[in-house]
Every structure is written in structure tokens, then in C-alpha cells.
Structure 1
Amino acid sequence: MRFRFWEGWSIGTRMIFITMLPVVFLFTSFVWYSWYSHRAQVAEELSERGHILARALAETSEYNVISGNLSDLRLTINGLVQSDKSIYRIEVVDAAQKGAISVSSQFAADAEKHYYEAPIKKQVIWVNLFSDNGSPHVSGPSDTKPPTQPAEVLGFVRVTMSPSNMMAVQARRFQVEVAIAALALAVSAALAYFLARSLTVPLRTSIGALRQIRGGDYRVQLPVTTGGEIAELQASIGEMSLALDQSKQHLENKVAERTRDLVESRNEALKADADKRKLIQKVNSIVEDERKSIAIEIHDELNASLIAVRLESQSILHLAANAGEAPEIEQIRQKSQAITKLALDLYASGRRLVRRLRPEVLEMLGLHGAVEEMMRHYDRESGCRFEFHSEGDFSRLGNELAISAYRIIQEALSNVMKHSTATHAQVALTLPDGADMLHIEVADDGEGFDVRTASAGIGIIGMRERVHALGGAITFTSSPDSGTVVAIALPTAVS
């Protein structure tokens, strides 16, 4: 289940929300139940006291009602009403429901809607004081209980209770309970805030370090300030920063050294007057050899560093996957994926250098054989099936055109492998006899993309630059879920 309302929240806000939601629910439930129990307690106590008072007064009022001495009964009731603030009114009515006594309290503010009633009964007991022989009767164990006539109802006692006094007492108790619960809620909120901050501060620091690395500053000092997966993330970022900085320095030194050697060789060649053209050709050959050497060194060393970086990132992603499902774990997965993207960006930078070098397979097999060999390699290494179609004689193509066409096809197939999730792709290479245009078409049945939004990708930009530098044309035909077709036309006059 996905909660869209908190997608824009920070991880700290999400942690506070997750922590406080059950606490607030418990606080609300406790307040409601406390108020309900207090009210129920008042109602139960009033009911019990009302019934007891009504029965007690009914049992003690029999003589006063029979004798007609209601003044003493009124005094008794008045004293009882004035001494107990929970009594609102006590009434005594006769058997005909005619009021005889009614005493109301001057302290009670309100009354219940019902009253508690008990009947006043008169009972007559026949007692035989003499035995059958006329002597005084002495009771024995065999004597039966003397007969009792049915009770006669003389009237009723009605007691009306007032809940105001008891409710005031219970309200004060309820206020104390609410104050204590509110204090516990505030302490829980403060604890949730500090727990969230202990996680968000290291994450912000780690994100800032990653942004520095993305900006090209690889000398990032990121101390490990916490434990668990966050500590592993910080340590991995620090190790990645050191490895990237070392790789960058090493590559820069190698390129500078090779550049100096090439410049010295070229300057020496230019100084030779007699063999100027021959020396220039030799320098060009040296340049090509040096390019190949640099390409090998860049490929080997850069790949070793990137493999280490990606392994660290995948290790973090694996740890996050084993940690269960939680919003903060999802954040860790996203940061691990961001590290992987940074590694891929560095790979793209190295690829742009290698892309400018002359591939050996192109020299050995020509454009047709080099593309065919590349297709066989991709077909073996992936789940996507590749087909190659060619028409024409490609041996008459110039070196620069052949290298550029090879690189364009290589970049297009690389995009198919990385982004399209295609199951089938094909490359068509056409150079009709006597024609002055080389046509290349790369098509796949992958998920496609929106050409308007994806036109700024590094691979697409690199392909366009190569084509435009040769005076050719390139078009992309694609949309989501409909595959992609890349069509290129290059003039053969380029040499």
C-alpha cells in the first residue's frame, strides 16, 4: 500500500509521523475512555445510592405514615437532603400518588431525569400468646411460623439524585489524568524529534558529500558519525571518494605524460626538413599506437575502480533489502542507486575518451567485419537477439568515416543493452554501388522513450555530434512502449 500524501515529506518528518501516530491514537483513546469511565462511575454510584436511600426511607417511614406524624419524617428527610449534596429531591406520596412530603436540596444544581422509588408497606402479624389449655404459650422447636397477612402499600418514597457535585469531583480527576497524558505525549514528541534528527543529520551530510563528488570534487572528507547501515554508507562514500580521486589523478598524469611524449615526437618530426612528410606519417602512426595504449590503460584502470564502487553500492543495496520494508530503508536504497549512477557517469566520461580512439578490430576486419563481430559479442553476452544486414562494398570508405560509423553503431547498441529492455534488435548497413551516402539503421522492440525529454542524454548527444561533424543526418523515432529506430545518413566524401 502506497501513501501518496507523504511523498513530499522528508525522512525526518516521516519518522516523527510514524512514531507519533500510535502515541496520539493511544492518547485520544485514553482521554475518551477516562471521560467515559468517570461518567459511568457517577451514574453507577448515583443509581446505587438512590436505590439504597429510597429503600431505607421506605422501611423507616412506616410508623410515621401510619401514625400521621409527618413532621418528624420531614425533619429527618430535610436533614438527609441538606447533608448529602448528591440528593436533589426526596418526595413521599400516599397510595393514591398524592404528594405528602417534598424536600429539595438548596445545593444541587441539576437533577436526573428519573427518580428511584420504593414502596412504604404496612405488615400485620398475628401472635397467639396462649396455648389451647389457656396457659401462656412457650415456643418450641416444633412450632410453625405465625401467619403473616399480605403487606398493604401505604405510599411511596421517591428519591431524585443530582449528578453535578459528583461530576465536578470526577472532572477534577479527569483534568489531572489529561494533564499527565498530555505530558507523556509531549515527551514522546520530543523523543521522536531527537530520534529523527539523529538519522537525518548523517543522511544530509552524506548527500552533501555525494553532491560534491558529482560536481567533480573527489577529495571529500566524510567522517563516520553513527552506526548501522548509515555508518556503512558513510564509510563507503569515503572509500569511493578516495578511489575516484586516485583514479582521476592517475589518469590525468598518464594523459599528461603521453601528451608530452606526443608533442615532443611531433616537434622533432616537424624539425626534419628532408623527411618531413615521412616523419609526419610516422608521428601519426605513433599517435595511433599511443591512443590504443591509452585506451587500454583507461579501460583497465577505470573499470577496476568502477567495479569497486559498484560493488560497494550493491553491498549497501543488499543490506537495505535485507533490512525489511520501511520508509527510511527506501531512502537508503535510493542513495545506493544514486551512487551507482555516479559510477556510471564516470564510466561515461571514460567512454567518451575511448570512443575517440581507433578500434583494432576495425583495422583488421574493416567496417563490415567490425560491426558483425560487435553484434556477435552482444548476442552472446545478453538476452537480446541481434540481427545484422549489410549491402554494398565498404572497403572504399575512408578511415575517419569508418571509425565514426563504428562508434555510432556501438553507442546505439549500448543504449539498447542498457535502457531499452529489448528482446530483439537489428542493424542495417547500406552502401549502394555508386552512391555517395552510407545509411545506417538501428532498431529495437524495447520500451522506447519520449524523444523530446530524452534528447539531452549523453549517448544521444555523442551520436549527434559525430554525425554532424561528418555532415550527415540522424533521426530518432520512438515513443514509450513502441520501440526505437535510429536512422543515420553519412556522406562518403569524408576521408
Structure 2
Amino acid sequence: MTGVLGALAARVRLGTRGRLLAITLLPMLALCATLTWYHYQARQAEVQAELAERGRLLAAALVASSEISLMYGQFDELRATINGMLQTDSAIQRITLLDASRKPLLDVAARGDARPEARYYEAAVHKRLLYVTGGGNRNVGTMGYVQVRMTPSAMLLKARQRLQLELAVALAGLLACVALAWRMTSGFADSLQASMAAVRAADAEKRRLLQRVTSAVEDERKAIALEIHDELNATLIAVRLEAQQVATLAEGMAPAGTAAQVRDKAQTITRLALGLYNNGRSLVRRLRPEMLDMLGLQGALEEMVRQVGSSHPACHFVLKVEGDVGAITGDAAISAYRIVQEALSNIVKHARASRASVEVSRQGDVLHIRIGDNGVGFDPARTAAGVGLAGMCERVQALGGSFALDCASGTRIAIELPL
């Protein structure tokens, strides 16, 4: 949890307001860019459609004037008409008059470097036969063709200018939104900073409370262990000695049957007292590991792994220690010992493993503990965490360490404790 809080605090320091603005404005920028692209493409399509319509209409309009010029072979008037069109309409790039065999008779192009379209619009100039009687006329052949090429340069330039104006207006509105969002996120960033500080303070207080509770529990265990060792075990020793004296006195009693019964009862009391004494010793070791005080952390871990391995021969336990682990004392030593003790207990009770390993290494001011087995594992999402696992996490949190659990194949625990 401490690592998560640190990462969050770093992000806050790097610029909460910037991230909030990015979250707010990036969708707006994406939407604006999309609409601008769509508007530009739609305008391009409109220009192409308008050019096509105007080109066809212009070609059809020039057919009547071209018919007279083709009939009499005089193109000056037609040329003047076309020049006038080119001067008044910048979308016309070239007009060409062809004869029936498509030989160019007249070709007038607009001045400038406007790029023409690849396509052209063509209309046929038909030869008409006029009937005096009956009225009307009839096409009797093709005299030539009128080709019109258009250029989108001028219309596209107008479209770009209009688009630039629209973009300038949109950018002004976007800048106004940025300024407003910057002002609005100021209070939010300050409140988030305060919330993060409160969370960090609460986390530090939680770790202090956990450490105090852990220390209090260990002190109480130590007191109970001393009480059992000094009072109860001493009393049991006295009871066993008294029972042995009763058995000795019973040997001179009469009748013999009663003496034998008294002796048997005294021996039974001796055995019970000895059993209670051994149970008391075992309870004392569980409450307060004597080996931790006598041998240090490394020796206590070696003794623990040896005892667990001898008690459960179906699973092979391996201990690997690196660094100056034996010099660790205090709460860190007790927490490390209890964590390994609880992990081995869980392996014995639940893992059904044939091999388990415990790796303890000291690197500088950090104690690394790795515990793994090849057992059945479990699914943390479906299996509620037991009291032992929760206790391990609380011990790690109390010392400001990190706890990682992997149960995909077997169970692996990785712990880092600051010293």
C-alpha cells in the first residue's frame, strides 16, 4: 500500500492539473479534429460535384454558338465569347472545339498556373435539318464536339479560407475552454493534494497502530510464556517429585494390594505431570521462540525448518540463507520468524506439496523472504484469506514492507521488510 501511495503522490506532484486537463480536453480535441476533417472532405466532394454540374451545363450552353462557327468556319466570335467566360469564371480552365474527326479547331485556356481536372465534360454539336413544312428539325449528323475542362483551384482556395476562419473561431473557443478548465481544476488539484496527504497520514498511523499491536501481542506472549515456564512448569515438576515420593512411601505400606494401587496412582500422576510439562514446554516455544533468543534469526529458522521437515517427511523442506541474517533483532526478527512459521504451517496443512523452499537474504537494509511450494495452490478470488495469511500481511504492513502472493501453480510468497 505504501508503494501505491508513493506512486500516486508522485503523479500528483508531476501535475494533477495537467492530467485533468488532458482527460477533459483530449476528447474535445479529437472531436474537433474529426469534425474538421469530415467538413474538409465534405467540402472537397461538394466542389467536385459543383464542378461536374457546371462543366456539363457549360458544354451544353456552348453547343449552340459552336454550331454556327462550325458551319461557317468563323471562330473569332466564339473565341471572344469563350475568353469572356474564362475571365468571369475562374473555375473554367480550358475550352476546346473539335471537328467531327476530333481534330482541334479552337483551343482557349485560362491564364495562370491553375491545375485542371483530369476529367473533361463533352457535348456533341449536331447538324440539324430544318423542315419548312411540318415544322421542327432533325439531327442528321455530328459536326463536332465541345470539351470543357474545369479547375478546382479557386473554389478549393475559397474553401480553405473559409475552413481557416472556422478553425480560428474553434481554436478561440477551445482556448477559452482551456482557461476555464484550468481555473476549475485549481481547486480540485488542491483538494486532491490534501486528500493524498490525509491518506498518507492515515496509512502511517495504521502502520504505527499495527506495529504497536504486534509488539503488544509479542510482549503478552512473552509474559505468558514466562509465566508458564516459571510457575506452571515449576509446579508440575513439584507435583512429579511429590508423586514419586508417594510411590516410594507406598512400597512399605500394608496390605500389599493397597500399596500397589497407591504406587500405580502415583506413577500415573507422574506420567500426567510429565506430559503436562512437555505440553507446557511446547506451548512456551510457540508463544516465545527460545531459539530466536538463543541462536538468533538464522539459527532459529534453521531449527524450525529442521523440526517441520522431521515431523512431515512427505514434504522435503529446503532453507537457503544469504547475508548477515543472524544479526537482525527486534521486531523485524520476530516478524520474519512468525511469517516463515505461519507459511510453513499453511504448507503442512493445505498445500499437499512434496517440496517447499524458504529463501531468506539480507541486502543492505532490506530483508527479502521467498517461500514457495509445488502444492495445489488456491484461487484468491474464490478462497477467502485465512487468519494466518491476514496476520502475515499485517506484520509486513506494520514494518512498511511489501507482500506479494502468487498462487497460479503452487504457492509463492515474496516479502520485503525494511530493517
TM-score scaled by structure 1?
A: 0.46
SS at 1:178 equivalent:
helix
Partner of 2:88: 83
Task: Return the alpha-carbon distance in structure 2 between the equivalents of residues 73 and 210 of structure 1.
Answer: 87
Partner of 1:66: 71
Superposition deviation, residue 388 in structure 1: 12
Deviations 1:113-159 (Å, cap 9, x if unpaired)?
A: 33221111112244546xxxxxxxxxxxxxxxx89655311111111
SS at 1:182 equivalent:
helix
User: Measured at CA, do residues 165 and 422 of structure 1 come closer, stay the same or move farther in structure 2, by a change above 3 Å?
Assistant: farther
Deviations 1:206-240 (Å, cap 9, x if unpaired)?
A: 334566x5xxxxxxxxxxxxxxxxxxxxxxxxxxx
Q: Residue type matched to 1:415 in 2? A: I
Can you give the 5+ residue segments of structure 1 that lack an aligned partner in the other structure?
1-5, 130-145, 214-338, 377-385, 392-406, 427-443, 461-479, 485-495
Task: Return the alpha-carbon distance in structure 2 between the equivalents of residues 69 and 375 of structure 1.
Answer: 123
Partner of 1:297: none
Q: Residue type matched to 2:206 in 1? A: A
* More displaced stretch, 116-125 vs 177-186: 177-186
Aligned sequence identity (%): 26
Partner of 2:167: 178
Task: Return the alpha-carbon distance in structure 2 between the equivalents of residues 483 and 23 of structure 1.
Answer: 44
Partner of 2:381: none
Aligned match for 2:144, one of 150, 155, 158? 155
Q: Do the aligned partners of 1:110 and 1:162 also contact (CA within 8 Å) in 2?
A: yes
Deviations 1:253-311 (Å, cap 9, x if unpaired)?
A: xxxxxxxxxxxxxxxxxxxxxxxxxxxxxxxxxxxxxxxxxxxxxxxxxxxxxxxxxxx
Partner of 2:212: 349
Superposition deviation, residue 61 in structure 1: 2.6
User: Measured at CA, do residues 208 and 43 of structure 1 come closer, stay the same or move farther in structure 2, by a change above 3 Å?
Assistant: same
Superposition deviation, residue 423 in structure 1: 1.6
Task: Return the alpha-carbon distance in structure 1 between the equivalents of residues 156 and 89 of structure 2.
Answer: 14
Superposition deviation, residue 389 in structure 1: 6.7
Partner of 1:203: 192
Task: Return the alpha-carbon distance in structure 2 between the equivalents of residues 86 and 414 of structure 1.
Answer: 89
Superposition deviation, residue 12 in structure 1: 4.2
Task: Return the alpha-carbon distance in structure 1 between the equivalents of residues 190 and 34 of structure 2.
Answer: 34
Q: Do the aligned partners of 1:86 and 1:108 also contact (CA within 8 Å) in 2?
A: no
Can you give the 5+ residue segments of structure 2 that lack an aligned partner in the other structure?
1-6, 234-278, 288-303, 311-330, 350-354, 370-393, 397-410
| Alignment size in residue pairs | 279
Q: Residue type matched to 2:346 in 1? A: T
Aligned match for 2:58, one of 33, 48, 53? 53
Aligned match for 2:367, one of 455, 467, 470? 455
Task: Return the alpha-carbon distance in structure 2 between the equivalents of residues 13 and 26 of structure 1.
Answer: 20
Partner of 1:369: 280
Partner of 1:92: 97
Task: Return the alpha-carbon distance in structure 1 between the equivalents of residues 27 and 345 of structure 2.
Answer: 47
Deviations 1:45-75 (Å, cap 9, x if unpaired)?
A: 1121111101111134323322334332222
Q: Do the aligned partners of 1:89 and 1:105 also contact (CA within 8 Å) in 2?
A: yes
Aligned match for 1:33, one of 28, 34, 38? 38
Q: Do the aligned partners of 1:123 and 1:148 also contact (CA within 8 Å) in 2?
A: yes
Map 1:56-455 → 2, pairs under 5 A = 56-106=61-111, 109-128=114-133, 150-209=139-198, 213=201, 339-340=202-203, 342-349=205-212, 351-352=214-215, 355-356=218-219, 359-360=223-224, 362-364=226-228, 369=280, 371-372=282-283, 411=335, 414-416=338-340, 420=343, 423-424=346-347, 451-452=362-363, 454-455=366-367
Partner of 1:319: none
Deviations 1:81-100 (Å, cap 9, x if unpaired)?
A: 22212212222121122322
TM-score scaled by structure 2?
A: 0.53
Q: Residue type matched to 1:359 in 2? A: A
User: Measured at CA, do residues 349 and 17 of structure 1 come closer, stay the same or move farther in structure 2, by a change above 3 Å?
Assistant: same
Task: Return the alpha-carbon distance in structure 1 between the equivalents of residues 104 and 73 of structure 2.
Answer: 14
SS at 2:129 equivalent:
coil
User: Measured at CA, do residues 106 and 408 of structure 1 come closer, stay the same or move farther in structure 2, by a change above 3 Å?
Assistant: closer
The reply on whether 1:481 has 2:412 as its aligned counterpart is yes
Higher relative contact order (CA 8 A, sep 6+): 2
Deviations 1:170-200 (Å, cap 9, x if unpaired)?
A: 1110101211232343344445544544333
Task: Return the alpha-carbon distance in structure 1 between the equivalents of residues 103 and 25 of structure 2.
Answer: 62
Q: Residue type matched to 2:187 in 1? A: S
Q: Residue type matched to 2:227 in 1? A: E
